Amino acid sequence: MSLKSYFPEQFAQLKGFFIAATEVVRLLRIDPEMRPLLLKALSKMEEDKEFPHALTLCSQAFAEPVSYFDSLHDILRQSYEQNVRALAEQKTQLAAPFAAHAAVKAPERFARYASSLAESLPERIGSLVFILDPDTVTDVPGFRRSIAFLAENIRSDWLKVLVLDSRVSPLLAGLESEHPKIGLQTLYLSPDEIERRVREDLQTPASLSPAERRQYKGLLAGFAFSNRRYDEAAQLQRAWATEAEQDGAPGDAASACYNLGNTLLAQNAWPEATAAFSKACELCLQHRLVGLAPFAYANLGIGLHRQGNFAQAFAALKVARDMFKAQNHRAGEAFVVDTLAQMYALDGRKAEAEKSWRYCLSLYEGMTSSTFADLRESGSKDVSAKLAQLGTHG
């Protein structure tokens, strides 16, 4: 099976679940970095006029069952009220869903309400699909019971629940074996399997678009680099860069040159690395590739320094730092200052190295947002260790 066909086949399985007669809940195990890609793909799927199902994403945290089902009920009720008006404008009547008595408990109230609404949808609409992706789950046993409850108490074939779960540490492990109405799907390919499939796809290049061919060569180069097969990586990256320029894809060409420069740095091929980074910088300036540009200039500085050109290296790092500051990219600025400090240390300029690392440390410690807590901790720890190795106090 090719890599190109893997994801369409996985989505075909999901579409099959949306119309399955016996399966009510699908557990989808996935890695964290794949979650945004999956949600984006599902969103695009719903935009397709040929896609009949109605998807509702619920990312509320799960603390305990009652409040969670209350929040699901509120989301569904609000969606119903919005769509009643929209459908009325199209002269389509949507029957009012089941109105549960106040004494009915929250899980049962939601299951009845959602089942009633799914049954009342117009024929042109397929299933009502809830995608449950809670930000946090603090009551794992309660979450497991809640998903099992849905599997056993949903009363419409047109109501489905897709639950995203961790592939590595699944909270709902074994639930599919305990309940016949719960299915399991895993969205994962190992790095070795991805590499194998990419090589297989590139053997039949006619089946790939130019953009896909470039992307696949970049992927293979990444695998080769991570396994220290630098000659192979450089060969692929050169081909990637050449094809990108021929295809009129400057962003791809700049990325290829930048990655080629990193490979050549790993081989201590300083002049060749400098040339690759210079080309990446040129493309970034010509085509306003502001995301890549400061990284390219920073690594250009490394290549120049390794050839003994400190003044030029410093100038390249200054450009990189100014770009990061203009973007309010504090982590990027810290990366540049760290790079400069390492250059000073390599040249035996201990005082300048210490000054730069202390400033770098202040940049990390100034990241007060909880979003950057891990980066602040790891960056501060790394810089403190370098100061200690330099023979100063961190």
pLDDT at position 32: 86
Domains defined for the chain, CATH in brackets: 3-188 (3.40.50.300), 192-390 (1.25.40.10)
> Is the C-alpha dihedral spanning 29, 35, 40, 46 positive or negative?
positive
User: CB burial class (10 A; 0-12, 13-18, 19+) of residue 63?
Assistant: middle
DSSP 44: H
pLDDT at 379 over 60: yes
Q: Does this model's pTM top 0.75?
A: no
Widest Cα–Cα separation across the chain: 80
pLDDT in tens, 77-114: 887 777 666 656 655 555 556 565 566 789 999 999 89
Q: What is the mean pLDDT of residues 116-129?
A: 86
Cα–Cα distance, 258 to 280 (Å, whole number): 6
Q: What is the mean pLDDT of residues 12-31?
A: 95
pLDDT at 160 over 80: yes
Give me the residue label for tokens 């940049």: 363
